[in-house]
Chain A
Amino acid sequence: NAGVTQTPKFQVLKTGQSMTLQCAQDMNHEYMSWYRQDPGMGLRLIHYSVGAGITDQGEVPNGYNVSRSTTEDFPLRLLSAAPSQTSVYFCASSRQGAKEKLFFGSGTQLSVL
């Protein structure tokens, strides 16, 4: 049981490049979410999903897209990377929703130059 798996662990992009951060969970969790962590800002919610085919915006959704075609996967897409998107990104899942405890992946450190 791997839990929540994020890839890659580290990534460096140039401004304007696009990329996808991958997130997969093997716990059959319905709820998945993406957070970014910046010094002094805590964990800010980017997008979340309550099940396959359903996504919604969080606190800081601009510049990011998500989709949820399967229960297991919840990729995060950066369409045109900006230096302001330099951050640590965490994917997290829970069994059924925001009221239940989250299991976090190990994170992706992203630098945009």
Chain B
Amino acid sequence: GQQVMQIPQYQHVQEGEDFTTYCNSSTTLSNIQWYKQRPGGHPVFLIQLVKSGEVKKQKRLTFQFGEAKKNSSLHITATQTTDVGTYFCAGPYMNNQGGKLIFGQGTELSVKP
């Protein structure tokens, strides 16, 4: 079946260090979405990538979509304590019922001040 694998599962960094999480799909995706979940909260949409090789930036966050549209990464430059949370990637798998959005396992980021 459809699978979205995400690594690492946990990442502990010192404030100011960089952070990267990687996402791989078992099949080619039409797009990849990224979400952030703060501790005790619900997932919140960050961004969507659609084009092969696409790179998008949101302040200190850089998102990439692979050339084959099967992998993606999120890189945070100079982490801050406000970056704490779990980051999920998600890919849509289309079918006759409109498709389903499958999430990776998430990467939990902790930042030590």
Contact = CB atoms under 8 A, between A and B. Distances in A.
A98 B103 contact: no
Given A40-B9, A59-B1, A97-B99, A90 B43 contact: yes
A101 B48 contact: yes
Contacts of B103: 35, 42-45
Given A42-B106, A59-B1, A102 B97 contact: no
Contact of A98 (B35, B41, B98, B106): B98
Nearest to B93: A98
Interface residues of A, number: 29
Nearest to A35: B103
A102 B105 contact: no
A5 to B, nearest CB: 12
B30 interface: yes
Contacts of A35: 103
Given A101-B48, A103-B45, A56 B105 contact: no
B9 A56 contact: no
Given A42-B6, A99-B30, A99-B31, A58 B100 contact: yes
B101 A45 contact: yes
B94 interface: yes
Nearest to B47: A101
B43 A33 contact: no
Interface string A64-92: 00000000000000000000000000101
Given A50-B99, A51-B98, A92-B43, 11 more contacts: A42-B88, A42-B104, A45-B100, A45-B103, A54-B97, A56-B100, A59-B1, A97-B99, A98-B93, A98-B100, A102-B45
15 contacts: A35-B103, A41-B105, A43-B43, A51-B98, A56-B100, A59-B1, A90-B42, A98-B98, A98-B100, A99-B30, A99-B99, A102-B43, A103-B45, A106-B41, A107-B42
Interface of B: 1, 6, 9, 30-31, 33, 35, 41-45, 48, 88, 90, 92-95, 97-106
The 7 closest A-B pairs by CB, nearest first: A50-B98, A98-B99, A98-B92, A42-B105, A56-B97, A43-B103, A101-B45
